[in-house]
Amino acid sequence: MTSEVIFETRGKSGVITLNRPEALNALTLNMVRLIKPVLAQWAQDDDIENIVIEGAGEKGFCAGGDIRALHDWGKSGAPEATGFYREEYQLNHMIKHFPKPYIALIDGITMGGGVGVSVHGRYRVASPRTLFAMPESGIGLLPDVGGTYFLPRLAGETGAWLVLTGARLKAGDAFAAGVASHYMASEALENLKADLAEGGDVEAILDAHHQAPDGVTLPDQQGDIDRLFQGQSVLEILAALDADASEWAQKQAKAVRSKSPTSAAVALRQMREGIHADFDDCLRIEMRAVTRIMALGDFYEGVRATIIEKDGAPVWSPATHEAVTRQQIDDIFAPLGDAELQF
């Protein structure tokens, strides 16, 4: 049986290959459990100077978590429904605090769980195949895996815009936003890995391979993003978008209204709280929220509409952004007591 993760030592590099190309390398609980002990071992190995993580195949670095498995666990009341997130967030924590350079080659689709195993590392290398998004509010989930920390620290209101609309960034804009630290052609990645295997100054190696990306449009939109997504509630943001006659603003309003109203409110609160919290506390916030979200109906409805029946017509509850109350969101973010996330 082919392993879902391949581990190799190449010179001074410890190389992790996510190996589910048929599923765009979507992260499973087994993969999380395979990666954690190897990273712990490599952290102590003096012969390993840097870590490289990549995805098998040409389409996806990692397209997210194994959503169908989470749906089925949640429906059956299995402990893995929240246990997966607990172990995944512990892996995100390990990556964020890893003592050696950690280089993610985001050469393909990078979403959800794939963001969690890439953006918290010291370096993220984009390529022309990169496509970045946090689309969780479209399936009744939340932008987790450390997104509460990482996303509000992007330029201006980029984080709020991404989580409320599910907007996708191609390589140039992923670099402009700060998601990627470097950019190069996909064909150049083998030479990069060879140089990293030789050891030495990782940043200097990456800088030597870096190329200026094309197709950068985000800076032209930044003013509108910051102006229209600065509200403290989803309703404020929708009001600002509705008041703007531009085609771009109307497209964003339509996107926000298509998302789970509960998930949108949760995601915006993550952005507003996360900017003031440290990384570990952001993961704790996410553990609280995802535990409650998995007990609600929107996630299961979102997966039904998107992945199972694929009718693209989820019926959210509450059905409108106006119907979501502050108390409902407060309850989602309430502490878990003895079940708080531990590292």
Give pLDDT, residue 316: 98
200 is catalytic: no
Cis peptide before 135 (omega within 30 of 0): no
Lookup: tokens for 87? 């172990």
The contacts of residue 71 (CB under 8 Å, 6+ apart) are: 299, 300, 303, 307, 308
144 is catalytic: yes
244 is catalytic: no
Lookup: tokens for 314? 């989820």
Give pLDDT, residue 278: 98
Q: Phi/psi zone of residue 229: left (φ > 0), alpha (ψ -120 to 50 degrees), beta? A: alpha
Q: Is the pLDDT of residue 2 over 90?
A: no
Give pLDDT, residue 84: 97
Q: Is the pLDDT of residue 136 over 90?
A: yes
Strands 169-170 and 131-133: antiparallel
Q: How far apart are CA 112 and CA 133, in angstroms?
A: 7
Lookup: tokens for 333? 């973010």
113 is catalytic: yes
In the DSSP assignment, the letter for residue 20 is -
Give pLDDT, residue 263: 98
Residue of 88, 144, 157, 173 marked catalytic? 144
Q: Is the pLDDT of residue 197 over 80?
A: yes
Q: What is the pLDDT of residues 32-80, one digit of tens each?
A: 999 999 999 999 999 999 999 999 999 999 999 999 999 999 999 999 9
Mean predicted confidence (pLDDT) in 67-95: 96
Of 306, 251, 320, 246, nearest to 70 by C-alpha is: 306
Give pLDDT, residue 1: 66
Strands 123-126 and 182-183: parallel
Residue of 4, 54, 88, 136 marked catalytic? 136
Give pLDDT, residue 260: 98
Q: Is the pLDDT of residue 113 over 90?
A: yes
Residue of 113, 116, 138, 274 marked catalytic? 113
Dmax (CA) for the chain in angstroms is: 59
Q: Is the pLDDT of residue 168 over 80?
A: yes
Q: Taking the mean position of all CA atoms in its chain, how far away is CA 198?
A: 30
Q: How far apart are CA 75 and CA 187, in angstroms?
A: 43
Mean pLDDT of the chain: 97
In the DSSP assignment, the letter for residue 294 is T
Q: How far apart are CA 240 and CA 233, in angstroms?
A: 11
Residue of 14, 65, 172, 302 marked catalytic? 65
Q: Where are the domains of the chain?
A: 1-343
Q: What is the pLDDT of residues 279-300, one digit of tens each?
A: 999 999 999 999 999 999 999 9
Q: How far apart are CA 214 and CA 325, in angstroms?
A: 43
The contacts of residue 255 (CB under 8 Å, 6+ apart) are: 164, 165, 166, 167
Q: Is the pLDDT of residue 192 over 70?
A: yes
Instruction: Please give the CATH topology (third level) of the domain spanning 1-343.
Output: 2-enoyl-CoA Hydratase; Chain A, domain 1 (3.90.226)
